[in-house]
């Protein structure tokens, strides 16, 4: 079987970021607006013709043109697949082309229709061509040009009708904008693909950073465990050999093996602890960057920071969990993070808008989410309070502290 050529750029992921979705909304809105303006002019011409003649052909032309407009506007949503992204279900493509083709045929039979009846098929061909591979795309556009030439030739040579180019400004503008529709669609979708690719590369860069960190952690762990395990294996083998001949030497090797195993355990715990412990300042800056990247304006106010590492770690965990909840359970456009000194401790306040759902829909199961965070703060002597009002959610964490950092 012949190989099927892949689209120029793969289909965008099903779950796009907010900024990428907004870009598609603007792109789609621009395409639909221009298409509706062109069709509005076409409908105005068709309605004027029907008003003047009141015959069945003109009425049918107006009705079929309305149907073609509706199908073409709906077809614009399929352009999200991008250039060469593939056609939707056959019924949509066939219906769009057939209704526009029917307008073309009725325009041939209606002497007053003129060039306006050939434009809907040209616009439909332009929409379909965008979803085809590059070679087929331009062949389809060429086919649309042939349909325009055939329309003029049939009316002129077969029916003896003369269709000179329109002299009024509205008709000339309609023809000019319609002629440039393929380039407009292709350039718009090219820009949309650039945005999708940039977002894909951004996600890939994040995944690569995580993978590199995992490799670095694996290398550090191997350096610690590999050496100690090799020494433990050698000393255990030596102790096994000396067990019958020299029990004292065997006992000494077993003792050293235990000490080496203890040292390996301590170094491993130190390594893991270094990865688990999080700097409060780093976590706050990371939260601001993440929320800003997600489309929320984030205000960060740092008055004081707790001096104790345990208090800093507890607040860092709070920042991380609150940021996760904002991303999961809201469409926030504004967020504030404040760390201030209060009586006997330090208070962290995080507030955001755009709340989706209720607190019960958040992660409140034991050991996870806000409930698990509240339990960990209470273990450290702190508290966590959450409030929700008019689409705003606020989390306020307090931890005891004997001193603060300026």
- Eight-class DSSP state of 158: I
Strand ranges in 317-400 using DSSP code E only, listed in sequence order: 334-342, 345-352, 383-389, 392-400
Q: What is the mean pLDDT of residues 90-99?
A: 93
Calculate ∠ Cα 99-105-106, nearest 5°.
90
Nearest of 376, 388, 277 to residue 325 by alpha carbon = 388
Distance CA 54, CA 47 (A): 10
Q: What is the mean pLDDT of residues 287-313?
A: 80
Give pLDDT tens digits for 105-124: 888 777 566 677 888 999 99
Instruction: Using the CB atoms, write b or e for 223-260: b if 16+ within 10 Å.
Output: ebbeebeebbeebeebbeebeeeeeeebeebbeebeeb
Calculate ∠ Cα 212-218-220, nearest 5°.
105
Most confident of the following: 43-47, 60-64, 87-91: 87-91
Q: Is the pLDDT of residue 23 over 60?
A: yes
Instruction: Using the CB atoms, write b or e for 145-167: b if 16+ within 10 Å.
Output: eebbeebeeebeeeeebebeebe
Give pLDDT tens digits for 121-151: 999 999 999 999 988 989 999 998 898 888 8
Output the pLDDT for position 7.
41
Output the pLDDT for position 134.
87
Model confidence at 361, pLDDT cuts 50, 70, 90, reads very low
Q: In what order do the strands lie in the sheet with 334-342?
A: 297-302, 334-342, 345-352, 392-400, 383-389
Size of the chain in residues: 406
Listed in sequence order, the DSSP H helices in 76-180 are 90-109, 119-130, 134-153, 169-179
Give pLDDT tens digits for 151-193: 878 877 776 665 555 566 777 778 888 888 899 898 888 888 8
Helix pair angle (90-109, 134-153), 10° resolution: 20
Coil vs helix vs strand at 335: strand
Residues 316, 373: contact at Cβ < 8 Å? no
Query: Who wins on pLDDT, 358 or 356?
Result: 356
Residues 387, 351: contact at Cβ < 8 Å? no
Q: Can you read off the two tokens belonging to residue 225?
A: 């465990």
Give pLDDT tens digits for 247-299: 888 888 888 888 888 878 877 777 766 555 567 887 888 788 777 766 788 89
Output the pLDDT for position 337.
92
Most confident of the following: 235-239, 326-330, 347-351, 374-378: 347-351
Report the predicted TM-score, pTM, of the whole model to 2 decimal places.
0.55
Q: Can you read off the two tokens belonging to residue 262?
A: 């203890």
Give pLDDT tens digits for 384-400: 888 887 778 888 998 88
């Amino acid at each position: 079987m012949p190989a099927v050529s892949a689209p120029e750029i793969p289909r965008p992921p099903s779950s796009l970021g907010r900024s990428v979705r907004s870009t598609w909304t603007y792109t789609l809105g621009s395409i639909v607006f221009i298409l509706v303006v062109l069709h509005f002019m076409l409908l105005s011409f068709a309605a004027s013709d029907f008003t003047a003649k009141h015959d069945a052909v003109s009425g049918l032309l107006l009705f079929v043109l309305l149907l073609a407009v509706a199908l073409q506007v709906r077809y614009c949503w399929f352009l999200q697949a991008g250039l060469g992204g593939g056609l939707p279900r056959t019924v949509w493509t066939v219906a769009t082309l057939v209704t526009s083709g029917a307008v073309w045929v009725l325009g041939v039979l209606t002497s007053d229709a003129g060039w306006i009846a050939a434009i809907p098929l040209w616009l439909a061909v332009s929409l379909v061509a965008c979803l085809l591979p590059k070679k087929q795309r331009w062949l389809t556009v060429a086919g649309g040009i042939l349909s325009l030439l055939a329309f003029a030739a049939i009316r002129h040579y077969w029916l003896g009708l003369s269709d000179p180019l329109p002299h009024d400004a509205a008709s000339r503008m309609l023809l000019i904008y319609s002629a440039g529709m393929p380039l407009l669609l292709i350039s718009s979708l090219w820009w949309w693909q650039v945005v999708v690719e940039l977002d894909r590369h951004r996600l890939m860069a994040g995944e690569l950073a995580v993978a590199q960190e995992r490799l670095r952690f694996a290398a550090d762990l191997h350096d610690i465990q590999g050496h100690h395990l090799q020494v433990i294996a050698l000393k255990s083998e030596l102790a096994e050999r000396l067990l019958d001949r020299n029990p004292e030497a065997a006992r000494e090797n077993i003792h050293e093996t235990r000490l080496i195993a203890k040292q390996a355990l301590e170094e491993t715990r130190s390594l893991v602890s270094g990865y688990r412990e999080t700097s409060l300042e780093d976590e706050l800056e990371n939260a601001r960057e993440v929320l800003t990247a997600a489309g929320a304006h984030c205000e960060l106010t740092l008055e004081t920071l707790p001096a104790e590492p345990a208090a800093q770690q507890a607040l860092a965990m709070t920042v991380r969990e609150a940021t996760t909840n904002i991303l999961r359970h809201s469409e926030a456009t504004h967020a504030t993070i404040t760390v201030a000194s209060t009586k006997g401790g330090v208070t962290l306040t995080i507030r955001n808008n755009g709340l989706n759902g209720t607190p019960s829909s958040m992660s409140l199961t034991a050991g996870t989410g806000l409930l698990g965070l509240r339990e960990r703060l209470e273990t450290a002597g702190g508290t966590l309070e959450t409030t929700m009002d008019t689409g705003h959610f606020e989390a306020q964490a307090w931890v005891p502290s004997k001193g603060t950092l300026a």
